[in-house]
Amino acid sequence: MEEKANDISADDVITILIATDNHLGYMERDPLRSNDSFQTFEEILLYAKQYNVDMMLLGGDLFHDNKPSRKTLYNTIALLRKHCMGDKPCQLEFLSDQKRNFTSFFPIVNYEDPNLNISLPIFSIHGNHDDPSGVFEN
């Protein structure tokens, strides 16, 4: 028997905004286009707020360069902090063993950290412009 859309509770639905190929930092040295990628990324974050999504999925190539400049990193962090932190409770629950999945300095997923107020969690898949290791080589 096929379930009707009306039978689905809003509590059982996860709304996801998917963005890909943001290429933050693209043309950052160009005097006319240096902020284009950041303005576009901010528009995406504003859509996430406007449509009250539960999470964002970045499908690769967040940055244009494999090793983004300090300016690009700073602008990205500023946008994430501005639009992803807040009082809206996160509706997602992390069900896996966090101690097993997070073996770095941060032992739990950030949206369940009592010291942070993450209102819009973002998950990211690396693309061919991104460093999948999470560690920049010197």
pLDDT, tens only, 76-132? 999 999 999 999 999 898 999 888 888 878 888 899 999 999 999 999 987 776 666
**pLDDT at residue 3 tops 60:** no
Helical pair 70-84 and 36-50, crossing angle rounded to 10 deg: 10
Query: Which of the residues are catalytic?
Result: 129
Percentage of residues in the chain with pLDDT exceeding 70? 89
In the chain, what are the domains?
15-124 (3.60.21.10)
Query: pLDDT at position 9, please?
Result: 84
Residue 20: both structure tokens together? 């890909």
Distance CA 136, CA 138 (A): 6
Query: pLDDT at position 119, please?
Result: 95
Query: pLDDT at position 100, please?
Result: 86
Per-position DSSP letters for 44-78, written without gaps between them: HHHHHHHTT-SEEEE-S-SBSSSS--HHHHHHHHH
Report the phi/psi class of residue 60: left, alpha or beta, with left for phi > 0 and alpha for psi in -120 to 50: left
Task: Decide if 58 contacts 22 (C-beta within 8 A).
Answer: yes
